[in-house]
Amino acid sequence: MNTLVALVPILPLLSFIVLGLNFKRLPKVVTSLMACGSVLVSFVLAVVLFFHVKEAGTAVNVTLFEWLPTASSSMGFSFVVDPISSLMILIVTGVGFLIHVYSIGYMFNDEGFNRFFAYMNLFVFSMLVLVLGSNYLMMFIGWEGVGLCSYLLIGFWFKNHDYNNAAKKAFIMNRIGDLGFLLGMFVLYYQFGSLDYQTVFAKATLLESGNMTLTIATMLLFVGAIGKSAQIPLFTWLPDAMAGPTPVSALIHAATMVTAGVYMVVRSQALFVLAPTTLMVIAIVGIITALFAATIAIFQNDIKKVLAYSTVSQLGYMFVGLGMGAFTGAMFHLTTHAFFKALLFLAAGSVIHAMSGEQDIRKMGGLRKAVPITWLVFLIGTIAISGIPPFSGFFSKDEILLHAFEHNKIIWVLGIVGSLMTAFYMFRLFFLTFAGTFRGSDTQKHHLHESPKSMTVPLAILAILSVFGGLINIPGVFGGSSELHMFLSPMYSAGKEVIVEVSHSTEILLMIIAVLGAIAMIAFAWFRFVKMAAIPISNDAKRPLFTNLLYHKYYIDEVYAFLIEKPMLWLSGILHWFDVQIVDRAVNSLGNSILWLGTKARPLQTGNIGFYMIVMVLSIVAFMVFGLMI
Amino acid sequence: MLTISLILLPLIASLILFALNGRKELHYWALGVSIAELALGVAAVVGFDKGIALNYLFDMPWITSMGIRFSLGMSGISVLLVLLTVALVPLIILTTVNGSTKYSATFYGLILLMQSALVGVFTSSDGFLFYIFWEMALIPIYFICGLWGGENKIKITIKFFIYTMFGSLLMLAALIWLYLHTPLSHNFNIDALLAVQLPFNEQVLVFVALFIAFAIKIPVFPFHSWQPNTYVVAPSAGSMLLAGIMLKMGLYGILRFLIPSCSEVALQYAPVVMVLAITGLLYGSIIAIRQKEIKRLIAYSSFAHVGLITAAIFAFNADALQGSVYQMIAHGFNVMALFFVADIIQRRTNTLQISDLGGIAKVAPKFAIFFMIVMLGSVALPLTNGFIGEFLMLVGLAKYSISVAAIAGVSIVLGAVYMFWMYQRSMYGNPTTATANFPDLTCNEMWVAIPLIIIIIAMGVYPKPLLEIAKPAVENILLVMSTKY
């Protein structure tokens, strides 16, 4: 069993190394086989491990070697497979494998084909280390590793400096979060003398709720989650990250990496439940992000940007779930979101492929006939994310909202509002893309084609998962047994996961409200974009004030540039000037003044004996006077 | 015998090279010597006994009338710095072996002479001897920069020389002061010097003198203004020697002399040093953001990095000290690799202006990978050598004060800002006229690049052996501090 655990991350790593060393030589077939094969084998191993954990009910711990000895403890290079990590590796390798396969078709004509797969494998390795690590430092390795891969893949087409800037922005914003993570680790390290999950959690449960140190530590860890999971205020990198190839957006910026923040909080559940203040902050940040991003999504016209803001918004929901104590709900939504959002992105990729690279939905329309499979799977994904039963998104979102209803009615209302917006902007996107008539150029029209099998088969599988993914956690009200909850609950510190006590009738009522609302929004979107065939106005057209604000994403980027970037550059210039003109000058003038003293002192050495005698006598007198005085 | 051989081998080789200056093509000879030296250094690390404070002792009377002995020995910290020195010098010599520029035998003689002096500094057990080696290390680098440097070399080199010389004199004064307080008949043995118990106000003077001497060498804000110009003007090999090894003399001096001899003042003045060091860290990082020239950017970045090392030393706890020792080694390799990158770019394009570059990744993918890994080490990505040191140092600083760690931690964000900016502008985008025909790494260069890549990753993946060597020495420093006061 131990070897299997180690192999899960090591296989993609090996594939990365081989690809990285031979990226110029390997034929595409070999690359595809190796890159996808390694992830597939990891997936099979993950399945085996998953069932092992499920049956045995115990975690598997593996320490490869002692990594970083510190004064009071020692960080092992070690992995743990327990319910939560076994679920995560299933998602990472499973969805990861499908996206790898899809990429063969998507990237086939790209000159950087081998490089692309090398990076993708490195990403899978890093992500697996992130979720498998058995201490915070291991998580941090993966944490920064996925950030690096994200950087490399966003800027994959590195001739374009806009893409490079997007990549750099992603890395730097993530680094800001990482600093929070680091500081959080330091607090934990000094509080508990270790960074091992087991030790930390065991010792933490002895503390009482609201403990100051824990509050600080969890807040700092959450800063890390904000960066990685693109929450307010560090979310602006994610929409820009769409510069990367679409499979990257699907894998990294929708299904896996961006959910790392959620994973981290669930993993640290034992700490967070003892910090109610932090949980409240998480819920507030989550709900604001969810709404904020949803409002922006309504006015975007780039198919990937809409999905990106939708991802930010959905991540917000996961954090609302965490803040409300619905740890399983968050994990559940993480899982279903991985399915349907990967599906949506890949389907969008298929659309972009068909449209010869066009991403503006104003130039699409009527694509249903040209790309029927893509149409169907996109529809499935859209229904799933809009929360229509019995698709997967309905169940997971419902669980989060139910918890919100139980704990905080305001957040629940806002959550419902957000989910209505979600239904609207997703169907707006869907209708503008697939319904109506084609609005692109003739060449584009001529080129329209359904994608190859390597792309449509993964789409089909993801579509099936998006439909039935909800089955893993059917709530009691529908006669289910909340399987996922049963599976994950041994992870939680005893009795700390909040049990919802809403009656079944209330629960049903809440669901009906949400579903009816969503259907109404879909109808509205249909009315507006199909019946009235409204097309969003062009970029430079004048917009009403509020719409304009949303269209320009609340000018957040501009605000950051004004508040942070500009002052920083200005400061850099000022300090450089100070360094050269003041610090260095001071040193130089010290040197010069000594030279100057030397030139002034030189005439004293006149060679005139008489002058020397006078000075000597005067000195003696002076000394004598001085001696008499004291 | 090992220690004295480590000093004598390059010393004798350098004398031979000076004598043979007329002859060309002696670089392989120098390389051979440095590889032999590397073998000795590795042997020293492998055979190092962690149970003994000072390994490989060598002792003989020298100037007996003044109690000066020629005595050498290696603590865990010394042996690591010796390892850094003997590992870097062959790589540095290899970087000079390329078609375009020819260096005379004297040049290689100077490098080996410097190596000899550096090993001497790191292994001296006698204060006077330490001083001799300290000054001896300055002379070769003066000639390397003054003879083979770029524009304005004389002016800049002389400034550097006088500036550090000024520091050295302060150090000499402090050493003599300590010497005069050793029991009769006085002696210069370092242990004896460190055992001197001075009254607090005298200790302050000694502390200030030593601190300025070391601070100039490191350099610590505000004693750093010699550094950017010197790094830029020095030939690449010179910058590598300076930033890679020589500045570690200052840090080593702090650990070897300053802290043990003036522990009381050191403890009390730690906040002052901390403020200076962290100011330098942020100041250097922020200035680096807008540098337009690669070497100058590296200079400011290096200045920032050593600021963090200095701050960590003054946190006075085991993690921080371990981290700073580890980072001294890691920084040595990383900064050498960065100057190597700059050297490659300069030789191929005749420019170091970032704005003239671009698109190199397209035409030279191997070079791009090498540069990427070096950059990742420099920004302390986990599983690279930079991370281990920075993590331990920040952990240690957090123990001292979490807010200090937070402020210092900002530098890891800033580091990413300027390094990624430099990488992006020089490597990505479309090739410019300067870079359109950029040849990829040559065979010779691969011989430098591959070991560096291996070191950067290996030190990040498996730091334990080196950390364990440093551990007793670090504990010893803390022990001395706690027992003395």
Of A96, A106, A99, A75, the closest CA to residue A9 belongs to A96
Query: Which are the contacts of B223, defined by CB distance < 8 A and separation ≥ 6?
Result: B163, B167, B212, B215, B216
Those of residues 409-448 in B touching chain A at CB distance below 8 A are 409-410, 412-413, 416-417, 420-421, 424, 427-430
Q: Are residues A455 and A334 in the same domain?
A: yes
Q: Are residues A615 and A521 in the same domain?
A: no
Position B485 pLDDT exceeds 70: no
The predicted-structure confidence for B41-56, as pLDDT tens digits, reads as follows 999 999 999 888 888 9
Those of residues 44-73 in A touching chain B at CB distance below 8 A are 65-71
* Domain encompassing residue B318: 265-485
Q: Are residues A534 and A572 in the same domain?
A: no
Out of A520, A551, A582, pick the residue that ends a domain.
Answer: A551
The mean pLDDT value of chain B amounts to 90
| Residue B418 domain flag | yes
Instruction: Please list every residue in chain B whose beta carbon sits closer than 8 Å to the beta carbon of residue A579.
Output: 225, 228, 283, 287
The predicted-structure confidence for A56-81, as pLDDT tens digits, reads as follows 878 888 888 889 888 888 888 999 99
Q: Are residues A588 and A625 in the same domain?
A: yes
| Residue B213 domain flag | no
Residue B447 Cα, gap to closest chain A Cα (Å): 16
| Residue A195 domain flag | no
Out of A494, A520, A551, pick the residue that ends a domain.
Answer: A551
Instruction: Give the CA count within 13 Å in the CB-facing half-sphere of B166.
Output: 14
**In this complex, do B286 and A572 lie within 8 Å of one another by their Cβ atoms?**
yes
Q: Taking CA atoms, what residue in B is nearest to A577? A: B287
| Residue B253 domain flag | no
Position B320 pLDDT exceeds 90: yes
Q: What is the pLDDT of residue A146?
A: 93
| Residue B395 domain flag | yes
pTM of the entire structure? Answer: 0.91
C-beta of residue A114 within 8 angstroms of C-beta of residue A19: yes
Of A539, A307, A178, A540, the closest CA to residue B381 belongs to A178
The predicted-structure confidence for B239-260, as pLDDT tens digits, reads as follows 999 999 999 999 999 999 899 8
Is A442 exposed, middle or buried (CB count within 10 Å of its CB: 0-12, 13-18, 19+)? exposed
How many domains is chain B built from? Answer: 1
CA distance B446 to B458: 17
Q: What is the pLDDT of residue B22?
A: 67
Q: Are residues A582 and A505 in the same domain?
A: no
**What three-state secondary structure class fits A451?**
coil
**What three-state secondary structure class fits B406?**
helix
Residue B186 Cα, gap to closest chain A Cα (Å): 34
**In this complex, do A141 and B383 lie within 8 Å of one another by their Cβ atoms?**
yes
CA distance B197 to B185: 17
Instruction: Please list every residue in chain B whose beta carbon sits closer than 8 Å to the beta carbon of residue A70.
Output: 319, 322, 392, 395
CA distance A213 to B397: 17
CA distance A537 to A96: 37
Q: Taking CA atoms, what residue in B is nearest to A589? A: B159
Q: Are residues A523 and A581 in the same domain?
A: no
Q: What is the pLDDT of residue B171?
A: 93
Q: Are residues A407 and A326 in the same domain?
A: yes
Give the pLDDT mean for B107-129: 93
| Residue B40 domain flag | no
Out of A492, A527, A551, pick the residue that ends a domain.
Answer: A551
| Cα distances (Å, whole numbers) of residue A194 to A191, B108, B403, B461 | 8, 49, 20, 20
**In this complex, do B287 and A70 lie within 8 Å of one another by their Cβ atoms?**
no
Position A454 pLDDT exceeds 90: no
| Residue A178 domain flag | no
CA distance B228 to B314: 25
Q: Which residues of B280-304 are buried (b: 16+ CB within 10 A; e: fewer)?
A: bbbbbbbbbbbbebbbbbbbbbbbb
pLDDT category at A497 given cuts 50, 70, 90 is low
| Residue B430 domain flag | yes
Instruction: Please list every residue in chain B whose beta carbon sits closer than 8 Å to the beta carbon of residue A189.
Output: 395, 398
**In this complex, do A159 and B398 lie within 8 Å of one another by their Cβ atoms?**
no
Mutating which of A144, A190, A223 best tests the B interface, going by the most B Cβ atoms within 10 A? A144
pLDDT category at A122 given cuts 50, 70, 90 is very high
| Residue B130 domain flag | no
Instruction: Please list every residue in chain A whose beta carbon sits closer than 8 Å to the beta carbon of residue B461.
Output: 67
Q: Are residues A536 and A564 in the same domain?
A: no
* Domain encompassing residue A378: 275-364+373-551
3-state SS of A273-312 is CCCHHHHHHHHHHHHHHHHHHHHHHHCCCEHHHHHHHHHH
Both tokens of residue B49?
């006994």
| Angle value at C-alpha B391, between B386 and B393, nearest 5 degrees | 100
Q: Are residues A486 and A600 in the same domain?
A: no
Mutating which of A125, A576, A588 best tests the B interface, going by the most B Cβ atoms within 10 A? A576
Put simply, whether B398 touches A (Cβ < 8 Å) is yes
Most confident region among A38-42, A236-240, B15-19 by mean pLDDT: A38-42
ipTM of the complex: 0.91
**In this complex, do A168 and B226 lie within 8 Å of one another by their Cβ atoms?**
no
| Residue B321 domain flag | yes
How many domains is chain A built from? Answer: 2
| Residue A206 domain flag | no
Residue whose tokens read 């403990």:
A211
Torsion angles phi and psi, residue A61, rounded to 5: -110, 130
Instruction: Please list every residue in chain B whose beta carbon sits closer than 8 Å to the beta carbon of residue A167.
Output: 424
Give the pLDDT mean for A260-280: 91
**In this complex, do B382 and A140 lie within 8 Å of one another by their Cβ atoms?**
yes
Point out the residue among A69, A183, A572 whose CB comes nearest to the CB of B464.
A69
Q: Are residues A514 and A471 in the same domain?
A: yes
Q: Are residues A391 and A443 in the same domain?
A: yes
Q: Which residues of B433-467 are buried (b: 16+ CB within 10 A; e: fewer)?
A: ebbeebebbeeebeebbebbbebbbebbbbbeebb
Instruction: Please list every residue in chain B whose beta carbon sits closer than 8 Å to the beta carbon of residue A571.
Output: 286
Instruction: Please list every residue in chain A whose beta carbon sits closer than 8 Å to the beta carbon of residue B362.
Output: 158-159
Helix (H) or strand (E) holding B228: helix B227-233
The predicted-structure confidence for B373-399, as pLDDT tens digits, reads as follows 999 999 999 999 999 999 999 999 998
Point out the residue among A145, A168, A579 whose CB comes nearest to the CB of B287.
A579
| Residue A513 domain flag | yes
Point out the residue among B359, B365, B412 whose CB comes nearest to the CB of A179.
B412
**In this complex, do B416 and A155 lie within 8 Å of one another by their Cβ atoms?**
no
CA distance A73 to A71: 6
| Residue A184 domain flag | no
Q: Are residues A597 and A564 in the same domain?
A: yes
Those of residues 283-312 in B touching chain A at CB distance below 8 A are 283, 286-291
